[in-house]
Amino acid sequence: MSSQWYNIAMKRIVIITGASSGIGREFARNLVQIKETDEMWLVARRKDRLEDLAQELSVPTRLFDLDLTRPEAIDTIGSALSSEYCVVDTLVNNAGFGTYGPFCETAPERELEMVDLNVRALTALCALVLPKMDNKSKIINVASLAAFIPLGNFAVYAATKAYVLSFSVALAAEVADRGITVTALCPGPVDTEFAKVASNGARQFVLKGKDTATVVTRCLKDVRRGKHISLIHPQWKIMALLSRFVGRYLYARHSYLNDKRPSQ
């Protein structure tokens, strides 16, 4: 009796967290144009915004209205992945937030939520997708220009993004032999809702924020070039370079005294 083998092509999916606005939404709009994308998974808390975004996209979408600070949210995505015959083409870990103000004046619960989202959830999602990736796959972890040096009035946020940067570069080295690209996007000010959230509404817009479309487009060019760190504007590159020559404590002290950010 002869045996027959059936070549069933696995669908290629893109997963984007923090997809309801800002940089995450822009990644969805760009990545949908990649021919290998068969389905897009959009993750965020605001279901109505995810539904609006899904209407724009030309590929099937799967919406996960989840709060990634909760461990069960990661389990939900993990269960969905384990039930799919798929390859994760791209993971964009964009979900994250910051808080303005001195550490001793901010709510500890809020700071710990930030650690859960910016660090734990990002790390957990990388662990979930790697077994589902192939030699064309990519991970984009959104860090920050704040990752390069400690910041007063922004202590926990800068520390979480320093983790994202360090983890991303180390992970890139570990998975290079598999052909997987890992890139840390390290933006400075970008025109998103970040400042509104970080200031509890006291500041509506990021000062001198760059356009999200430009940030994402140039980041994807860096990804295609295999870059491990994406600093897309010359002034951001200069600031990252100069951080190597500034005392870490001195800069943290300077930013604490001179870079007050509004909060309520």
Say if CB 206 and CB 194 are below 8 A apart.
Answer: yes
pLDDT score of 60: 95
pLDDT score of 100: 87
Distance CA 8, CA 21 (A): 35
Give the predicted TM-score (pTM) of the model.
Answer: 0.91
Compute and round to an integer the Cα radius of gyration of the chain: 19
pLDDT score of 2: 43
Mean pLDDT of successive 10-residue stretches along the chain, which has 264 residues = 52 96 94 87 96 94 96 96 94 94 93 97 98 96 96 95 98 98 94 59 62 93 97 90 92 88 62
Pick 11-258's CATH classification: 3.40.50.2300, 2.40.50.140, 3.40.50.720, 2.40.70.10: 3.40.50.720
pLDDT score of 229: 98
pLDDT score of 193: 63
Query: Which residue type sits at 191?
Result: D
* Full DSSP string of 168-214: HHHHHHHHGGGT-EEEEE--SSBSSSHHHHHTTTS--S-TTPBPHHH
220 CB-contact burial (10 Å; exposed 0-12 / middle 13-18 / buried 19+): buried
Beta bridge partners of 247: none
pLDDT score of 203: 52
Half-sphere exposure at residue 69, Cβ-oriented, CA atoms within 13 angstroms: 11
Domain ranges within the chain, ordered by starting residue: 11-258
pLDDT score of 28: 96
